[in-house]
Structure 1
Amino acid sequence: METLERTQTRIGLTEVDRAKVGTLIRASHRHVMDLETVLPWADGIDFSRNPKLETGSWIYGTEYWDALTPEQRNELLWKEVARDVSMFIWLEQSLPPLYMNYANQEPFGMLPEVYEYLMIFSREEITHTLMFRRYLDLAKLPLFDPPRGAYAQFTRQLPEMHPVLGILSTLMLEWVAELNAIYLTQGRDNEPLTRKMFHEHHIEEVRHIAFGKRVVEYFFENGPAEVIDRIRGSFAPLYQNLKNEVTYNRDIARHTSFKFPIAEDDDAAVERIRQSENNRRMNGERFAEVDTWFAKLGIL
């Protein structure tokens, strides 16, 4: 995508969407997340309660789940949440330098609404990263390794490419991760601080997703057809791989206090888990919104 990368740096929006981004900007300025007060940190975390739906465990509905004790199941749910929080941390700490790079590429030619929202987006992601790190420290949960491939993409590859590719990549990861978190953690019986953390995060992420959709849709309607075809071809497998990693992540075997029943290199077992009846049902429910949108763009 050499031509796209070097000569078409402007992020376009329709007049209607510029007004919509202005609405997002005003909402962001009215409600700024404060790290000290956003969560009742002093209340601590109730580890006797599950942080997410039990049926949302990656291995629920398989013989591996059936073989665990109640204590092991509870621990597994907490470690799965730690992995999801870790993914948010690695993604969100990489976004401010990426988006500031885009703003600096075209400091005078960029639409003012886009420039301001890139700044707001970056500020909010910094606060999210600090909140998630504080949560892991308070819960004494591990920070998992960065997502394979994705972290290098955000820190080394996307800064050299067209901003729309960075915004589309961000949208894909954030939207999938956000739908997953909200689907799993907002039950009445889920651990209260964990539930509130993901809810507060969701309020700002909804605005990020709305911004990304406006930018990407404009580009797909107005960009060079040959470039868009290449984007479709490259993002389809990335999207499927992302959903696979959210459905089951092999790194979990390194972090449980008990011997995990699936080896990291057991590809057949991993595939059976990802294709379990429970996981297929959940994926159809929690990712229906983003599946529909990607299909509309011709990416699926």
Structure 2
Amino acid sequence: MASSTSQPESPSRPSDDNAARRLLDSSARLSYDPLTEVDWDTPLDTDFHGTSPEWSTLYGTPYWQELTEAQRKALTRQEAASVASTGIWFEMILQQMVLRDIYAKDPTDDTVQWALTEIADECRHSIMFARGAKKLRAPAYRPHRVAIELGRFFKTVAFGEAAYASILVAEEVLDVMQRDWMRDERVVPFVRTINNIHVVEESRHMKFARDETRRHLARAGRLRRRVHAVLIAVSAYVIVTSMVNRKVYANAGLDEERALREAKANEHHKSMMRASCSGLMEFLASVGLLTRPALFFYRRAHLI
């Protein structure tokens, strides 16, 4: 930890360093190596789902009622792989934003060392998700080209609370659904292990993202806060609408066009998404980021 006598510090620095040191200690005590923790060798058992069925985009629709159990399981496995692929895409954006934030900072500070630890975690998570998707017999699902280019722009221009609150949005949405999946014995065991690893390690990342969002907002003016509130909301919309690729339906042997129509109108899934984001919306409201223009995008994404 940098000494207060070696360089000037802001009033928030000691508290920031203490929080970062606790996160580093937690990481040292409780981290996983997916290469050894996940059972990569046992062949895929197609008698299992890839996600909790209730989280499927078609659950509760007339089409879902027509599907056989085998078709439902095939669909949730493809959906799980699509969520994992989207996770990889955003984790790559996340890593670049965090690296840019700490680029010229003191590497002996605990906060910078925690940021590097988080980046290392995300690298391992991306490999874990990629191997998991492959084992689920899914292709490399990629977001729509527009989403990819928006992500390229966002990771280049986002800074401060815009970067860290967007990181929090992606992590919070995944966290709630993965907590359900990791406890669900209907989900294929290796996916449950992947979800457990991600939930445990991302809990530290979310704590850091909340703290960094608050810290950056403490010196943000009214205009910057309002602009960033919309930027965060747009990023949330792009992330959430990219989670399940339309090709999952055809790859599960379903009628893609019909599945898309029923998924878009599925009130059950919209309700699940809103419930999963209640804590996130409370946080954004508490720090003044839930403005009226931002609410438009959160409602479009069915997060509120």
- Aligned pairs for 1:59-78 (under 5 A) are 59-78=58-77
Q: Secondary structure at the match of 2:33?
A: coil
Cα distance in 1 for residues equivalent to 2:139 and 2:11? 40
Cα distance in 2 for residues equivalent to 1:56 and 1:263? 15
Give the corresponding residue for 1:46.
45
User: Are 2:281 and 1:291 equivalent residues in the alignment?
Assistant: yes
Cα distance in 2 for residues equivalent to 1:283 and 1:119? 31
Give the corresponding residue for 1:36.
35
Cα distance in 1 for residues equivalent to 2:87 and 2:11? 27
TM-superposed CA distance for 1:97, in Å, is 3.4
Give the corresponding residue for 2:225.
228
TM-score (normalizing by structure 1):
0.82
TM-superposed CA distance for 1:147, in Å, is 5.6
Q: Secondary structure at the match of 2:233?
A: helix
TM-superposed CA distance for 1:93, in Å, is 3.0
Higher relative contact order (CA 8 A, sep 6+): 1
**AA paired with 1:113?**
D
CA RMSD in angstroms, aligned pairs only: 2.8
User: Are 2:278 and 1:255 equivalent residues in the alignment?
Assistant: no
Q: Secondary structure at the match of 1:222?
A: coil
Give the corresponding residue for 1:209.
206
**CA distance change for structure 1 residues 99 and 244 in 2, over 3 Å: closer, same or farther?**
closer
The answer on whether the counterparts of 1:98 and 1:155 sit within 8 Å (CA) in structure 2 is no
Q: What count of residue pairs does the alignment treat as equivalent?
A: 282
Q: Deviations over 1:229-255 (max 9, x none)?
A: 111233334435544555x65343443
User: Are 2:105 and 1:115 equivalent residues in the alignment?
Assistant: no
User: Are 2:165 and 1:172 equivalent residues in the alignment?
Assistant: no
**CA distance change for structure 1 residues 103 and 12 in 2, over 3 Å: closer, same or farther?**
farther
- Aligned pairs for 1:43-192 (under 5 A) are 43-104=42-103, 106-108=104-106, 112-146=109-143, 149-192=146-189
The range that moved more, 146-155 or 283-292, is 146-155
**AA paired with 1:119?**
L
**CA distance change for structure 1 residues 236 and 132 in 2, over 3 Å: closer, same or farther?**
closer
**CA distance change for structure 1 residues 229 and 93 in 2, over 3 Å: closer, same or farther?**
closer
Q: Secondary structure at the match of 2:35?
A: coil
Cα distance in 1 for residues equivalent to 2:136 and 2:272? 27
Cα distance in 2 for residues equivalent to 1:81 and 1:196? 13
The answer on whether the counterparts of 2:166 and 2:236 sit within 8 Å (CA) in structure 1 is no
The answer on whether the counterparts of 2:98 and 2:115 sit within 8 Å (CA) in structure 1 is yes
Percent of aligned pairs with the same amino acid: 20
Q: Secondary structure at the match of 1:214?
A: helix
Q: Secondary structure at the match of 1:49?
A: coil
Cα distance in 1 for residues equivalent to 2:10 and 2:234? 25
The range that moved more, 195-204 or 157-166, is 157-166
Q: Deviations over 1:159-196 (max 9, x none)?
A: 34424322222221122122222234421332211111
The answer on whether the counterparts of 2:39 and 2:190 sit within 8 Å (CA) in structure 1 is yes
Q: Deviations over 1:188-220 (max 9, x none)?
A: 332211111100111111100100000101222
Unaligned segments of structure 2, at least 5 residues: 1-8, 296-304
Q: Deviations over 1:83-130 (max 9, x none)?
A: 1111111122333333223222x234x882321122111111111111
The range that moved more, 280-289 or 112-121, is 280-289
**AA paired with 1:186?**
R
The answer on whether the counterparts of 1:54 and 1:77 sit within 8 Å (CA) in structure 2 is yes
The answer on whether the counterparts of 2:179 and 2:196 sit within 8 Å (CA) in structure 1 is yes
The answer on whether the counterparts of 1:35 and 1:127 sit within 8 Å (CA) in structure 2 is yes
Cα distance in 2 for residues equivalent to 1:114 and 1:182? 27
**CA distance change for structure 1 residues 216 and 36 in 2, over 3 Å: closer, same or farther?**
same
Cα distance in 2 for residues equivalent to 1:156 and 1:62? 36
Cα distance in 1 for residues equivalent to 2:175 and 2:137? 23
Cα distance in 2 for residues equivalent to 1:55 and 1:238? 25
TM-superposed CA distance for 1:43, in Å, is 3.0
Cα distance in 2 for residues equivalent to 1:186 and 1:42? 22
TM-score (normalizing by structure 2):
0.81
